[in-house]
Structure 1
Amino acid sequence: MKKHNFSAGPSILPQFTIEKTAEAIKDFAGTGLSVMEVSHRGKEFVAVMEETQALFRELLNIPDNYSVLFLGGGASLQFCMVPYNLMKTKAAYLNTGSWSSKAIKEGKFFGEVVEVASSKDTVYNYIPKGYEIPADADYFHYTSNNTIYGTQIRKDFDLDIPVVCDMSSDIFSRQIDVSKYGIIYGGAQKNLAPAGLAFVIVRNDILGKVDRPIPTMLNYQTHIDGGSMFNTPPVTPIYAALQTLKWLKEKGGVAAMEKINEEKAALLYDEIDRNPVFKGTVLNKEDRSLMNVCFIMNDGYQELEKDFLEFATAKGMSAIKGHRSVGGFRASIYNAMPKESIQALIDCMQEFEKTHVK
C-alpha cells in the first residue's frame, strides 16, 4: 500500500533528493567515500556549499548585499541569535502561534519586546490585522507560516526598519521580495532538507550596530566571514538541500511552485468546505496556509474523530493527526507533496462521508 506522507516536519522530500542523497551516502562525487565521512573543507564538499549558496541566490533572487548562511541549531537558535545581533533597546513582534511565542520569549532577554498583536485569544486561528509597528523598533519579527494552526502571511512588509521573518515552513513555496527583509531564517526540515540544518539570509549592513559583546558562535559576522564553515556545518543536510534546489529549478522555480501549491491547497480546502463531516479551523480564507491544512470534525460528528483517524491511516494517510495542542487533523502539503496524495486524502474523506453522513 502506498504511503502518503502528510507529516508537518521532518516531512516529505522530493524523491529526487532522497535518491541522490542516498547515492552520495554510498559514494560521494566519485571519492569512494560517503558524504557523511568526508572533510567539509575538501574540494568536493566546498563545491557543494558554493553551488547550494548560488542556487539559493538564484531561486530567491537574493541581492548581492545579502549573505546566505547554513548553520546548525535549527530555527530555534535563531530566536536568540536575531536579538543578540540586532536588538539595541526594543523590537516589535507579531504573535501568531507557538513559534512566534518562543521567539518573543527569547527576545525579552535582550531588551523590550513590543507585542504588536496576537491571535492567542482564539487559539491562533487567524492572522491579526490593523496593528501598528513602532517606527523606533530595532526590527519587526514575524513567522510567515504557522504549522500547528494552519495560518499563513503571504505578503512582504514594506517598513523602514529591518523585517525579520521565520520562514521555516514556507521557504521556496511562494515568491518573496528578499530586498524587503533584514533577515529571513528557518529550519530546513519542511521544504528543503532533513533536520539538522538552518538557513539564514541576512542583509549585511544591519549587523555590527549593537554595543553588547556577542559570543563567537552566535555572531552572524563570524559565519559570514567563515563562509558557513567557521565550524563543521551539517554536511549531509546541505548536500540534500542542494538536490532539492536542483529539483525545484527543474520544476520551473519558485513562481511555478507557488502556482502548484495554490492549486493543491484549493483542492483540499474545497473538499473540507464541501464535506458535511469536516470543517476547517481557519475560517478567513486569506489567512489559510498553503502548507498546513488544519481541519476538525464538523458539529455532530465530533465523536468520529478517532474513527476517521484510524480509517485514514488504514488507507495510507500518514501523520494527519493534528498537533497535540489543538487536536483534529493536519495535512502538511509542502512543495514535494504530489497532487495524487492530496486526491487520495480527498477520496478517503469522501468515502468516510458516504458511510457516516446523517
Structure 2
Amino acid sequence: MTADPGARARPARPPRASGAARRSAWGRALRPWLLLAPALLVLAVLLFWPLVRVLLVSFQDYGLRQINTGENNWTGLDNYRDLLGDSFLWTRVLPNTVLFAFACVALTLVIGTLVALLLTRLGRTWRVICSTAIMSAWAMPAVTGTYVWIWIFDPLDGVVSGGLDGLGLIEPRETNWFTERWSFYAIATLNVVHHGFPFVAVTLYAALLTIPRELPEAALCDGAGPWQRFRLITVPAIRPAFTVVTLLSIIWDVKVFAQIYLMPGGAGANEDVLNLGVWSYIQSFSRNEYGTGSAIAVLLTLLLLAVTVVYVRTLARERDEP
C-alpha cells in the first residue's frame, strides 16, 4: 500500500505553546518594566508633567488672573508669533545664548583636555594636589562662584580694577565691567569655564588611562610627533568620553541661568545681556506673563534638542565614514 504523496509534502505544524508557557514569556518581558516602574513614575511626576504643563501654558494668555481662577485663556500660536516676530529675540537674546554657549563649550573642552593631558604626565603627589585643586573649583556652588567673580571685577574694590588702576590703565570710577554687553559676557564665560572644566578634565583623564601604553610608544618609535600621536591615537581612543562631555557641556551652557541672573544688570536691569533662560524667568515671574515665559522656555528646549541632534548626527556620520 503506497502512502499519499500529498501527505508527505504537507509540512509539519509546530506545536502550539501552552497557556502557561505564553504567560511565562509575557512575565519575562514585563519584568524589566515592572522593576523600572517606580523610577519611571517619579520621572513622569517630576519631569514629564511639568514639561507638558509648560507646553500647555505656552498656548495661553496666562497671568495672575488665570492662576487665581484656574481658567484657561487659549490663544493658539500667538505667543510664538509675537516672540518670533520680535527683533529683540534675534538681535540680542538668541545671539547672547548661542555665542555665549559656543565660547563656553569650546574653552571648557580645550582647557579640560589640556589639564587631563597634564595629569597624565605628573607624578603621584602633584597629581593628587592638582586634582584636589580642580575638584574644589567644581564643587563650588554656582551662586558662590558667581559672587566671587563679581568681587574680582568689582568696579571700585575689585582685584582687576585695582590692579589696572595701579598700572594707570583705567579709572575705576569711570569703568564698570558689567554694563557693556561683551565685557559682561566675558566675565560670565570665565565663571562658567572655571566651574565646568574640572568635570571635563577628570572624565578625560579617566579615559586617557584606558589607552594601552604600547600604542603611543609604537607611534613614537615610528617617528610620530606629539600632535600626530594626539590626533591619531589619543583622540580616537577617548572619542566616546569626549562625546559625553561635549553633549553635557552644550546642555549646561545653553541653559545657564544663575551665572547671568546674579551678575549686576543680569536680572533684567540691562536688557542687552539677557539670554533665553533669564528672559523666560523675567517674563514669567517679574512681569507675570506666564504664557510668554513658557513659550520662551519651549524655544530654549527646542534649541537644545536641535543642537544635540545635529551634534550626534555629525558624530555618527564621521564614525560611519571609512
Superposition TM-score tier, normalisation by shorter sequence? under 0.3
Per residue, is there more strand in 1 or in 2?
1
Using structure 1 for the length normalisation, give the TM-score. Answer: 0.19
Per residue, is there more helix in 1 or in 2?
2
